[in-house]
Each structure stands twice: as structure tokens, then as C-alpha cells.
Structure 1
Amino acid sequence: MKKVYYLHTCSTCQRILKEWDLDNSFELQDIKTDRMTPQQVDEMIKLAGSAEVLFSKRAMKYKSMGLADKNLSEKDIRQLIIDEYTFLKRPVMIYNDQIFIGNAAKTVAAAKEAVSNS
């Protein structure tokens, strides 16, 4: 699978997509206009090893919903990501059986290297 979950209104996602310079074999899914299905989220969780790795605590709703004060289970986190796209760390690239989550420089570079080495 070659897929990227991103947000078209996010300048960081746009910058990273330009840096990756992906070919047309990649499917790009704007998670705001094309919502993620529970199956897609489950596939990401399976590749990542946990829902928590995919979860963004930087989302504005994290504080406004008082989630910092709650002890969230994997099941809770999974449902939050499904219900509200802002809770997904972005971008997420799935390349074959590898997953690259978020915008950390190391992650972005590792994803770019994986794609360019094939």
C-alpha cells in the first residue's frame, strides 16, 4: 500500500508533501474532506503498534474537551481518531508495510529515504 493521510489546510503537511515529491502511485487522502473509516484507522494502529502513537495531543480539541485530565484507553483513543480527524498526527504515510507518523524531521527524512530506496 502507498498512501498518505494529510490535511490540505495544514501548511506543514503541504511542505512535507512537497519534500517527499511522491509519484502518482501514492493515494493521497485529505482527512477533512474524505473522512477516515474505522478500518483505515485500524490498519494504521496495526502498523503503528498502538493507537496512542497516532494520537495528537497538540490538537486544540484535546484541551477544550478536557482530555488531558482523563486516562484514555487504546479503545478511547481509537474512537477519538475516528470521530475527529484533528486527533491524528499528520501526515501519516503508509509505504508497503511501513508507517511514518507525524512531522518530526527524523520521521519525514526516514519516509523520504524509504520511498527513494525502492
Structure 2
Amino acid sequence: MKKVYYLKTCSTCVRILKALNLSPEFVLQDIKTEEITVKQLEEMKALAGSYEALFSRRSKLYKEMDLKNQTLTERDYKQYILEHYTFLSRPVIIVNDKIFVGNSAKTVEAAKLYIKSLNV
């Protein structure tokens, strides 16, 4: 599977996608217009190891809902991500059995190197 979960309206996601120069075999899913399904989220969790690894603490709702002062469980992380797309750390890039979550320079570079290694 080659898939990217991202936000079309997010300039960071768009910049990262440009930098990755993905082949047409990648499926791009704009999570704002096409919601993440339970099955998709469970597949991401299986690769990432936890729902917490997929959860964004930078979300405005995270601050608005004062979630930082609550003890969240894996079940909570899953529920919040399914309830609102902003709770998913973006982009999520899946290449075969590898997953790259978020937009840190280190993560993006790792994704870029891995994708490049497949195209050699």
C-alpha cells in the first residue's frame, strides 16, 4: 500500500508532498473531505504502534478542550482522531509496511530516503 493522509488546505502538507515528489501509484486522501474510517485508523495504529503516536497535540481543539490537563487512554486517542480530523498528526505516509507520521524534518527526510530507496 502506498498512501498519504493529508490536508489539502495545509501549506505544510502541500510543501511536504511537493518535496517527496511521489509517483502516481500513491493514493492521496484529503482527510477533511474524505473522513478516516475505523479500519484505516486501525491499520495506521498497527504500523505506528499506538493511537497516541498518531495523535496531534498541536491541534487547536487540543488546547480548546484542555486535553493536556487530562489523562488520555489509547481509546481516547482513537475516539478523538475519528471525531475530528485535526487530531491526526499530518501527513501520515504509508509505504508498504512502513509508516511516517507528522511533519518534523527528521520524519520527512526518513520518508524521502525510504521512498527513494524503493525507486532505485
Q: Assess same fold via TM > 0.5.
A: yes
Give how far 1:111 is off: 0.4
What residue in structure 2 maps to residue 76 of structure 1? 76
Give how far 1:40 is off: 0.4
Identity across the alignment (%): 57
- Give runs of aligned pairs for residues 50-69 of structure 1, distance below 5 A: 50-69=50-69
- Structure-1-length-normalised TM-score: 0.98
Residue identity opposite 1:16 in structure 2: I
Q: Is residue 19 of structure 2 the alignment partner of residue 19 of structure 1?
A: yes
Structure 1 counterpart SS, 2:93:
strand
Give how far 1:9 is off: 0.5
Q: Structure 1 stretches (4+) deviating beyond 2 angstroms?
A: none
- Extract unaligned runs of 5+ from structure 1: none
Residue identity opposite 1:90 in structure 2: R
- Extract unaligned runs of 5+ from structure 2: none
Q: Is residue 72 of structure 2 the alignment partner of residue 97 of structure 1?
A: no
**Post-superposition CA distance 1:19-71 (Å, at most 9, x none):** 00001100000000000001101110110001111100110000111211110
**Post-superposition CA distance 1:59-110 (Å, at most 9, x none):** 0000111211110000010110011100000000000000000001111011
Aligned residue pairs total 118
Give the RMSD, CA atoms, in angstroms: 0.5
Structure 1 counterpart SS, 2:79:
helix
Residue identity opposite 2:88 in structure 1: L
What residue in structure 2 maps to residue 30 of structure 1? 30
